[in-house]
Structure formats: C-alpha cells, structure tokens
Amino acid sequence: MLAGVEILLERMKTNPEEFIEGGMTKWSRVIDRAWEVLGEEERNALQDAIRSAKRDHFSGEVMRVLAQGHDEIENNLVTHSAILSKKSMMNQTTKLLSDEFDKAYAAQNTTSNPYQQRK
C-alpha cells in the first residue's frame, strides 16, 4: 500500500472532519489526483474509511438530536459541520444528560445534589 494512503488512513482516525465536510474537503484534490494510480485495495481502503467517518458523523447527529429540544434541532443540524469522534460524542451526551439530571433534581429538591460535581 502506498505510504500516502497509509498516512491518510491514519489521519482519518484523528481528524475525520477533514474528509467528510460538505463539498470539496481538504484532501479531496489530493485523493482525486492520485485515484487513477491507486490499486483496488488502496481505493477500497480509502472509501471504507471515509464511509466509516461519515457513519460516525451521522451517529453523532442522531445523538445530538436525542439530547436537544425539538426547537433547536433543525438550526443545529444545518449550521453544525464539526464531527464528533465516538469518545467526544459520548462525553457530550453524558454531559448533556448530567446537566438535565441536575436541573430536574434541583427542581424537586431544596437540598444540594450529592452527585453534582464540585467545581
């Protein structure tokens, strides 16, 4: 496998947003120019990695929709172009759910929440 393909595959793991932003991405021209000289295995590896990044991005969008109020969903989906890794997606979801729990707990109780993290 070409070293450049291996570098791009590794880069996709840490910076997937560079490969899936709408339209021409940072790497589109590089990949397009090299496409005709890449072997089938290299092409498939790049296509699979990009497809995987897009699938993860889709999952992140679904998690954001589930965690947000209905009124905010459309605006955020239209204006939000950053991708979340699986880890950051779970961290963001956990934080949103924790914040909602804190609000609900505070509304029901006058005592402090023993689970709330101290700052």
**pLDDT tens string 81-109:** 445 555 666 666 677 677 676 777 666 66
Coil/strand/helix, residue 83 = coil
Which pLDDT does position 71 carry in this prediction?
55
pLDDT recorded at residue 53:
87
Pair 84, 76: CB distance under 8 Å: no
Q: What is the pLDDT of residue 81?
A: 44
Output the pLDDT for position 47.
Answer: 92
Q: What is the pLDDT of residue 78?
A: 46
So what's the pLDDT on residue 61? 81
What is the predicted pLDDT for the residue at 103? 72
List Cβ neighbours of 19 (8 Å cut-off, separation of 6 or more).
Answer: 11, 12, 25, 26, 27, 49, 50, 53
The pLDDT score that the predictor gives to residue 88 is 63
Q: What is the pLDDT of residues 25-72, one digit of tens each?
A: 788 889 999 999 999 999 999 999 998 888 888 888 888 888 876 555
Predicted confidence at residue 110, as pLDDT, reads 54
> What confidence tens digit (pLDDT) does each residue in 9-38 have?
999 998 888 888 765 678 888 999 999 999
What is the distance between the alpha carbons of residues 83 and 89, in angstroms, rounded to a whole number?
9
